[in-house]
Structure 1
């Protein structure tokens, strides 16, 4: 079996984040394109992810699902790419990977679904007050230049991806600190290559 990473994805999915990561790593990888619907629920793909959701990767005999887990795995599997701090300096790195996948994502999902948290239940929400959560992100960004220290990591890739999506698609406040951070993080050749691949796939599917 090839040791190349196989990315299971759709160009209109969180798989775009994983592709950016793979382009940052710069090693050969394969793409298995899946369409929403029956193909993602096929026995073949359910053997990869029983939830029938993307993205997922296979690396040799290892299968990883869930975007932040994939990013963390890839950073460790390809340490020469420098996308994770040294183990003794990973506090902020882990904090922000899980902050994005936990409080940040749950807040936007609740918003998109029209769910208003009752005041007496707000303490149960991982994000608490959305405005305070946004203040927390802004403060960390301004302390930069990167979210987990002095160099670009998978945590920046993940946070910038979510900020971009939430500001452009979900009505998140476009604070200057957020737009500047996203612009800086995405001003990278790897991001441009990844976006071009997925955008070309979307265009081809539209014409099919």
Structure 2
């Protein structure tokens, strides 16, 4: 029997990453929409994710939280989708998946949300060093590579692509040509369009 697959999300959240990945995988799933400060903090949902945040997925009796982890889990669980890394792609796949989920998000949050950045003499103590270093590093990769692993779209591009797309759209990431081009490439996918249409429809329902 096929295990039940449930997405816990809010259309105005990082849950969009998980929905995009589910649409890429192409397997049936149901959706539970949670409200900030309400059902997201309910005892029922806290039993699934004690952080009280989305996204999360439940696959049978397995629970996965965090956008990058969800992308990796679904790629490995449903290999027929062809989104998991090949042996020769694993290095760049994991490198950039964790770089964007860790150093890049931390650098963007610190500088663009909280307005702080480590002083030069203290940057060695921060995992990301500086915002400029993070953007330079990512931009350098996409100067010579179409996707995270080179020339093939993988699950890592769902996560990295979503973060780059949002960063450019909301002004938290420098609008460099190579990043703009990458964001456009990953957004030009049927699964991305389907997922976006679903979430935008939910946003309109709430308006």
**More displaced 10-residue stretch of structure 1: 136-145 or 58-67:** 136-145
**Contact 2:64 2:70 survives alignment (8 Å):** yes
Specify the alignment match of 2:183 in structure 1. Answer: 182
**Contact 2:5 2:59 survives alignment (8 Å):** yes
How far the C-alpha of 1:119 sits from its partner, in A, is 2.5
SS in 2 for 1:32: strand
Specify the alignment match of 1:78 in structure 2. Answer: 78
For residues 109 and 131 of structure 2, the distance between their equivalents in structure 1, rounded to whole angstroms, comes to 12
**More displaced 10-residue stretch of structure 1: 183-192 or 147-156:** 147-156
**More displaced 10-residue stretch of structure 1: 144-153 or 64-73:** 144-153
Q: Deviations over 1:65-117 (max 9, x none)?
A: 11111111000000011111124531110011100111110011102112232
**Contact 1:108 1:170 survives alignment (8 Å):** no
Structure 2 residues without counterparts, runs of 5 or longer: none
Specify the alignment match of 1:49 in structure 2. Answer: 49
For residues 2 and 77 of structure 1, the distance between their equivalents in structure 2, rounded to whole angstroms, comes to 12
Specify the alignment match of 2:147 in structure 1. Answer: 146
Specify the alignment match of 1:191 in structure 2. Answer: 192
Structure 1 residues without counterparts, runs of 5 or longer: none
For residues 58 and 162 of structure 1, the distance between their equivalents in structure 2, rounded to whole angstroms, comes to 23
Specify the alignment match of 1:25 in structure 2. Answer: 25
SS in 1 for 2:96: helix
SS in 1 for 2:163: helix
For residues 122 and 139 of structure 2, the distance between their equivalents in structure 1, rounded to whole angstroms, comes to 25
SS in 1 for 2:31: strand
**Contact 1:85 1:93 survives alignment (8 Å):** yes
How far the C-alpha of 1:31 sits from its partner, in A, is 0.4
How far the C-alpha of 1:118 sits from its partner, in A, is 2.3
Specify the alignment match of 1:163 in structure 2. Answer: 164
Query: Cα RMSD (Å) of the superposition?
Result: 1.4
How far the C-alpha of 1:2 sits from its partner, in A, is 5.8
